[in-house]
Amino acid sequence: MTSLPDFVQLDSRQASLVIDCMHKTPAIAYFGKRLNKQTSFEMLQLLSTRQEAKCSVLVEAPISLTPSMGEGFTGGPGIELNNDHNAWSIGGKLQSVTQLNAQEVRFESVDEIRNLTLVHYLKLDKETSVLSASSSLTNNDNKPVNVNYCAAPTIPMPDHMTKLLSFEGRWSNEFHRTSIDLFLGAVLRENRKGKTSHDNFPGAILHEQHTNESQGECYGFHLGWSGNHRTRIELLAEQRTYIQMGELLMPSEVSLVKGQSYTSPTLYCSYSDVGFSALSNNFHKFVRSQILTPKQQIKPRPVHYNTWEGIYFDHNLNTLKSLADRVASLGVERFVLDDGWFKGRRGDKAGLGDWTVDYAIYPDGLSPIINHVNDLGMEFGIWFEPEMVNPDSDLYRAHPDWVLQTEGNEQLQFRNQLLLDLTRKEVVDYLFKCIHDILVEYPTIKYIKWDMNRDINHAGNAIGKPAVSAQTHALYKLIDDLRIAHPDVEIESCSSGGARIDYGVLSHTDRVWTSDSNDALDRLNIQRGCSFFFPSEVMGAHIGPRDCHITGRHVSIEMRAGVSFFGHLGLEMDPRELSEHEMKALKSVISLHKKHRALIHSGDLIRLDTDGNSIDFGIVNAQKSQALYAYNSVTETKRTTPKKYRFLGLDPSKTYQINMIWPTQLKEYSPSILPQIEGRNFSGQALIQLGMQLPISFPQTSLIFEFNEVWHKENC
């Protein structure tokens, strides 16, 4: 065996990761702000020296990359195995360290007694400071071994990270944040819904006491996985804290025979010492450079129209043509035909699985509506829910055994549908052919909205084994195979809105549907939460009906448009009901969005801390020469006038011209600052340090300001 290094250090522009290799298993010695050349590994090692505590072990078990019971670790083990012998007490020893390049390293540990190999792979992206980390277990023994849990590498935390920001929600109200103080013991969050889930997003942020959007240290963590998952954050009695995330496996779900391996989902981590917004921008830049393809980045995101909240299942060719005419006149660039186009689909009780055009409604197929849409200059998209089947369908009547189920247990009723077993080759082959045939017959379909509308409650496959893990991998492969066959077709991940949003599915798709709620006030909070990990261009954001179909809330067109403006913009309503004022407003905001979407979909997000009355943020380009800022009044201010708006994120040394670009008209109680600042120049320092007095406005008012650098002769 070649000699092992004492440590490995990976550096990015903002962060350093140091892994201690001097003990039996590798462990993170430091992860945080980039270390300078004067700081050595020996210093870190010495400063971390701990003594024997009373009534404690002489030397504490390490928080290694995979802490284990074999090491005597009494926190949450990073690996749990069993067979008919002693696999449970795996105790590997570091055998090799391979530094693949300056940013990537591979650690291989071997347990020669149990014939198991554990590999850790870590990569610290130089530009974005996002760490990608995964663990892989291989069975080298003749005896099979059951994998109950194999987490991604465990990350120890500095002891001044005392607060946890977690993400939770429900259908149509995703990405809410809850902040708690860490306590002695573990915060354990588990998702068993079979998909990423509305209620338990696989992400967390650990931070110090007074961190906010623009100051303070924080660490962000996200597990890129679309199935069941587990997050454990624990403060141990000896004042050590760690976070551990991995796939939650059901009993007997993964069993390895000799030569087989299991690899954890990838854990994505990053660090910021200047607050949450900078942390989010690390993740945004990583998504743009490492997850999205260059092709996805180059093409402007087309403004959508989706038919769902406009007509639901009431499909009619003439109606659809009239919808297309109306939205094309507004500047819409993509028309998406939602649920209801296929055989027997007149409601949500029948038809799923029978992916052929319903000729009772479309006697000439989809060509008339597709051609009409294309002739209007719009792309055409279509809705599928491939993983599901209605019991009332030809597919289910022919193959009732093709669904996930468990023997002797009655299926729970859920939206009149069951889950197809994607671990069966014949099922995947059938689904590929159905979708492929539609795309071949109608080659100008350029977009698929891929939906998934129920939890996996009985996840048994054809041989009675739990199958969420294999089901998720099969889903990824099915999408990939379709993308290879149809490279010009974009795919959206939707799951009753935001129940399948993660870096795992995003690696195989083009955008996510953020929430089924198009209520602008709800969306402000949902999109803000989603923005902690996801950039604006992948977040579907549609302007819904004036009376929201989910909340019943009446919101002005100006507010609805102002909120959707900062995502992947779309419309989802019946445009025949629009007033002349609403038509004019939509046409205006779509034109504005097209003008500014290059900035919206590439700039740095600056979330501003909220006082509870408004939700405010900005997007600034890399040169800080152009910016957009939004003020979104949600409730009436507690004082006679609102606070000043400080435009954090601008360059204090530059001069900017300010213009209010939305709404085009604002009715005010009395003359305000707005006409006086229009087109005027202000120093970045004044805009940041003093800020601008906000006008008095009604609740549910959205204002958007544009800033452009003013070039003086000395700048040239």
- Active site residue ranges: 451, 516
d(CA 208, CA 258) in angstroms, rounded, equals: 46
Contacts of 95 (CB under 8 A, 6+ apart): 1, 108, 109, 110
What SS3 string covers 10-34? Answer: EECCCEEEEEECCCCCCEEEEEEEC
Q: Would residue 519 be called left, alpha or beta, if left means φ above 0 and alpha means ψ between -120 and 50 degrees? A: beta
Q: Does residue 472 contact residue 197 with C-beta atoms inside 8 Å?
A: no
* Amino acid identity for residue 590 in this structure: I
Q: Does residue 431 contact residue 380 with C-beta atoms inside 8 Å?
A: no
The DSSP line for 437-488 is: HHHHHSTTEEEEEE---S--S--B-TTS-B-HHHHHHHHHHHHHHHHHH-TT
Angle in degrees, 0-180, between the axes of helices 580-600 and 557-564, rounded to the nearest 10: 20
d(CA 515, CA 535) in angstroms, rounded, equals: 15
The first and second tokens of residue 276, run together, are 């949450």
Q: Which residue has the tokens 């141990």?
A: 236
The burial class, CB within 10 Å (0-12 / 13-18 / 19+), for 447 is buried
Q: How far is CA 540 from CA 256, 442, 468, in A?
A: 40, 25, 26
Of 600, 619, 590, the closest CA to residue 331 belongs to 590
Of 441, 416, 135, the closest CA to residue 266 belongs to 135
Of 223, 254, 192, 263, the closest CA to residue 467 belongs to 254
Q: Does residue 503 contact residue 291 with C-beta atoms inside 8 Å?
A: yes
